[in-house]
Amino acid sequence: MFEDYLPLLVILALAVLIGFIVVLLGVLFGPRRPTPRKMAPYESGMVPYGPGRRRMSVRYYLIAVLFILFDIEVVFVVSWAVVLRKLGTLGLLGMLVFLVVLEVAHLYAWKKGALEWD
């Protein structure tokens, strides 16, 4: 059982290696002649103004929180889907109750305007 996962570690190690080799290639072969102009943030040729990192809209946080809530729901649904045939009608009804509760939460967020972008 555990052996099924070992190949995933092998390919992960190789992928990490390849990622760093590619970065290294650029470091080894690329020229390096920095000037203050070149190092300035790129703003389509205009002189950059203000800080590069600004305060972000609170909507992004809302989306992130809602995502966590509903993504956990999706993970529950995925694992339930594997055993649905064994659970039968009761399993279907149980999931239906769970989904209705979450859908109420979804509708609440919707009506409160958490999903609006303006």
Neighbours of 87 (CB within 10 A): 13
Q: Does 34 bind another protein (CB under 8 A)?
A: yes
Q: Does 64 bind another protein (CB under 8 A)?
A: yes
> What Rg do the C-alpha atoms of the chain give, in angstroms?
25
Q: Site residues for another protein, window 78-117 (CB under 8 A)?
A: 78-79, 81-85, 88-89, 91-92, 95-96, 99, 103, 106, 110, 115-117
Dihedrals phi, psi of 50, to nearest 5 degrees:
75, 170
CA distances from 62 to 19, 42, 56, 73, 115 (A): 33, 30, 12, 17, 8
Q: Does 40 bind another protein (CB under 8 A)?
A: yes
Q: Does 53 bind another protein (CB under 8 A)?
A: yes
Convert residues 12-31 into a mask of x (bound to another protein by CB under 8 A) and - (unbound).
x-xxx-xxx-xx-xxx-xxx
Instruction: Classify 88 as helix, strand or coil.
Output: helix
CB of 33 to another protein, least distance (A): 7
